[in-house]
Amino acid sequence: MRKGNSILRKPAVQTLLSSLLCILLGLLVGFIALLIINPSGAVEAILDIIKNFWNYSKRATQLKNLGNTLVKTAPLLMCSLSVLFAYKVGLFNIGAAGQYVAGAGACIFCAVGLGWHWLPCMIASILAGALVGAISGLLKATRNVNEVISCIMLNWISLYLVNTLLSKVKNPTSPYTYNVAKQMVIENGASTTVAHPEALLPQLGINTLFNNNKYVGLAIPLAILLAVGIWVLLNKTRLGYELRATGLNKHAAKYCGMQDKANIVLTMAIAGGLAGIGASMLYLTGFEEWSVTQSSVPGMGFNGIAAAFLGGLHPIGTIFSSFFIQHITDGGAQLNKQVYPSEISGLISSLIIYFCAFVLFFKLTLNRRLDRKAERLQAIAQKEGGKA
């Protein structure tokens, strides 16, 4: 039977459509929440969230704030790539959060505690994240431990380990570590710091585009490059062919002699490395410091899940979805805190993940509709043909 050539049949169109639908629904429910909290300012508030940096009138401030959003988009993109990459191989990497934490711990400690240059710090982040990921992979491959559960456990273990590690480079007057732009030195038993700009990621002149936002730099092009790289790896290479085959049908992968267990470990290590490098992309800009008393796992890894699914599980798609998620998250901060809680944007992004879970059903229904429509058209055509 010939199927109609409706543009709606194209998988890419369907993916885009369903992502937009998820966003709309998420915003809609968020808007309803705003309405309930305070109806008079709700329209303005939801627009504030959507506009984010455009809320500022001056172009220079807009650029600076866009820069800030981009600084946080880079690590988010890495986390979403981490989730996506594992998902393509049939693994649900809910552990991106913990791998990100491990990466953060590694690069901050290497920069502040050991005074390393940014590049080895970044590599340390990759390795730390990869190690945490590989543990999940190894447990899955050898002991059949469900990766979701082991990742959840490792998220918390990583958090407490990193808190312990980083309390060695803590600023004694606050719960935070020193900024990576400084190196900690011990003099006479007391810790002080010396300037250590080598640990900061190079700005490559990109900062000038964003009104000299000093945090903007290498991370952003690198993140985009890695997204493209992941796409190439998955779709053009022998390894990608193997990994995707493993994800789609691990039995067939084993049957044709692929190293299914090694591939699981490798996948989780790569996924962990991606989340780990993501952490270094944020912390090595000096944008923020780590609080060693935090008792919940940073949301970056979980938001990565949102971005991965919202991006239609396509590496290029995640570039846009990551930006969008970060954009509305920062948008939440634009709200008047005396009326609306800024967590409303967290609410919206978690709603978006929730709606993403319906995407498969949506596509199925859409295809069935199109089938039925095509059949009807065919029947009509046949009838008319019969008359003629």
Partner 1 sequence: MILLIQYTLVFTSVLMLVALGGCFSEHSGVINIGLEGIMVFGALGGALVMSSLPAGSSAFIIVLLSILAAMVMGIIYSLLLAVASINFKADQTLVGTAMNLLGTAGATVIVKAINTAANPNNPSATVQYISARKAFLLVNGYEFNWFMPLALCLLILAYVILYKTRFGLRLMSCGEHPQAAASVGINVYKMRYAGVLISGLLGGLGGLVYITAGVSEWKFENGVAGFGFLALAVMIFGGWKPFRIALAALLFGFFRALSNVYTGFDLLSRLNLPSTIYNMLPYIISLIVLIFFSKNSAAPKAEGIPYDQGSR
Partner 2 sequence: MEKEQIRPQDSEYAVEMLHITKRFPGIIANDDITLQLRKGEIHALLGENGAGKSTLMSVLFGLYQPEEGIIKINGKEVKISDPNDANDLGIGMVHQHFKLVECFTVLDNIILGVEPVGKAGILHKAEARKRVLKLSEKYGLQVNPDAKISDITVGMQQRTEILKMLYRDNDILIFDEPTAVLTPQEIEELMQIMRNLAAEGKSILFISHKLAEIMAVADRCSVLRKGKYIGTVNTKDVTMEDLSAMMVGRNVNFHVEKKPQKLGDVILKVENMTVASHMHKNNAVKNVSFEVRAGEIVCIAGIDGNGQTEFVYGLTGLEPLAGGKITLLGKDITKMPIRRRSVMGMSHIPEDRHKHGLVLDYSLEYNIVLQRYFEPQFNKNEFLRRKNIRAYADQLIEQYDIRSGQGAITSARSMSGGNQQKAIVAREIDRNPSLLVAVQPTRGLDVGAIEYIHKQIVAQRDAGKAVLLVSLEMDEVLDVSDRILVMYEGEIVGELDPKTTTPEEMGLYMAGAKRKEM
Q: Does 241 sit near partner 2 (CB under 8 A)?
A: yes
Give CA 180 to chain center in angstroms.
23
- Placement of tokens 């994240």 in the chain: 129
Minimum Å gap between C-beta 22 and partner 1 is 11
| Total residues binding partner 1 (CB under 8 A) | 51
Tokens of 75: 């690590």
140/154 Cα distance (integer angstroms): 13
Tokens of 123: 């590599």
257's contact among partner 1, partner 2, none, with CB below 5 to 8 A by partner kind, is partner 2
Q: Which has the closest alpha carbon to 71: 241, 232, 178, 207?
A: 207
256's contact among partner 1, partner 2, none, with CB below 5 to 8 A by partner kind, is partner 2
**Cβ atoms of 304 and 79 closer than 8 Å:** yes
Q: Where does this chain touch partner 1 (CB under 8 A) — which range of 48-56, 126-134, 246-254, 294-302?
A: 294-302
341's contact among partner 1, partner 2, none, with CB below 5 to 8 A by partner kind, is partner 1
225's contact among partner 1, partner 2, none, with CB below 5 to 8 A by partner kind, is none
Residue 4 identity: G
Q: Does 77 sit near partner 2 (CB under 8 A)?
A: no
Which 76-95 residues touch partner 1, going by CB under 8 A?
A: 92, 94
Q: How many CA atoms lie within 13 A of 358 on its CB side?
A: 16
Q: Which has the closest alpha carbon to 310: 87, 50, 46?
A: 87
Closer residue to partner 2 in complex, CB, 223/230:
230
Kindly list the distances between the CA atom of residue 238 and the CA atoms of 40, 79, 83, 235, 263, in Å, as whole numbers in the listed order.
57, 24, 21, 9, 12
Return the H-helix or E-strand segment holding 231.
Answer: helix 219-236
**Cβ atoms of 115 and 182 closer than 8 Å:** no
Handedness of CA 117, 123, 124, 125 (dihedral sign): positive
Which 303-362 residues touch partner 1, going by CB under 8 A?
A: 305-306, 309, 337-341, 343-344, 346-347, 349-351, 353-354, 356-358, 360-361
Minimum Å gap between C-beta 148 and partner 1 is 6
Which 245-304 residues touch partner 2, going by CB under 8 A?
A: 245, 248-249, 251-259
249's contact among partner 1, partner 2, none, with CB below 5 to 8 A by partner kind, is partner 2
Minimum Å gap between C-beta 122 and partner 1 is 26
Q: DSSP letter at 57?
A: S
94/126 Cα distance (integer angstroms): 17
Q: Does 376 sit near partner 2 (CB under 8 A)?
A: no
**Cβ atoms of 321 and 310 closer than 8 Å:** yes
Return the H-helix or E-strand segment holding 252.
Answer: helix 250-255
Q: Does 228 sit near partner 1 (CB under 8 A)?
A: no
Q: Does 161 sit near partner 1 (CB under 8 A)?
A: yes
Minimum Å gap between C-beta 256 and partner 2 is 5
Q: Which has the closest alpha carbon to 23: 51, 52, 55, 50?
A: 50
Minimum Å gap between C-beta 343 and partner 1 is 4
Minimum Å gap between C-beta 143 and partner 1 is 5
**Cβ atoms of 137 and 131 closer than 8 Å:** no
Q: Are strands 190-195 and 182-187 parallel, antiparallel or unpaired?
A: antiparallel
End-to-end CA separation in angstroms for the chain: 22
125/275 Cα distance (integer angstroms): 9
Q: Does 371 sit near partner 2 (CB under 8 A)?
A: yes
Closer residue to partner 2 in complex, CB, 184/253:
253
Minimum Å gap between C-beta 274 and partner 2 is 19
254's contact among partner 1, partner 2, none, with CB below 5 to 8 A by partner kind, is partner 2
Residue 375 identity: E
375's contact among partner 1, partner 2, none, with CB below 5 to 8 A by partner kind, is partner 2
Contacts with partner 1 by CB under 8 A lie at: 33, 36-37, 92, 94, 139, 143-146, 148-150, 152-157, 160-161, 163-164, 167, 295-297, 299, 302, 305-306, 309, 337-341, 343-344, 346-347, 349-351, 353-354, 356-358, 360-361
Q: Can you give the binding site for partner 2, defined by CB under 8 A?
A: 1, 236-239, 241-242, 244-245, 248-249, 251-259, 368, 371-372, 375
